Amino acid sequence: MQDILNQLGELVLGSVPTMIFFVVLVIAYAALVRKPLETMLAERHARTSGAMDQARSAISASEAKAAEYEAKLRDARTKIFENRQAMLKQWNTEREKALELARHDAQRRIGVAREAVQRAGDEAKQQLQTSAAQLSDQILKAILPTHRGGAAVQG
């Protein structure tokens, strides 16, 4: 058994440089590879999350701009609608005024025409009365001839 222990001791002594080399290798790995790798990954993560944050802020800014443009568009449409309504109201008012003027002009013309017709009727009546009087005189002269001495003959 002593032999086995001696062999084990020699193996352990022979493995000490390997263990030291392994420890140095782990420390070198940690210093040369792991730390820069973690630093680079943290930087990459920061850049990625920073880019994501910038993208989110850009998206929210564009959404805010879109909402602002929609509000401006809505306001512009409202103004256009109000202007259109105002113009329609103005046109209707102007049309009503023109119709009222046309009605007044038509009423005036009708009045003038009625007066002209009335005058023409009165003139026609006057002419008829004058003609009737002349005709009756002619009829009387034709039916009742006058006497030469100025007296009418009775018969």
Q: What is the DSSP letter of 148?
A: T
What's the confidence (pLDDT) of residue 80? 96
What's the confidence (pLDDT) of residue 155? 44
Q: Where exactly are the structural domains of the chain?
A: 1-35, 72-137
For residues 132 and 124, is the Cβ–Cβ distance under 8 A?
A: no
Region of poorest pLDDT, from 24-28, 50-54, 118-122: 50-54
Inform me whether the pLDDT recorded for 52 exceeds 60.
yes
pLDDT interval class at 110 (50, 70, 90): very high
pLDDT interval class at 147 (50, 70, 90): low
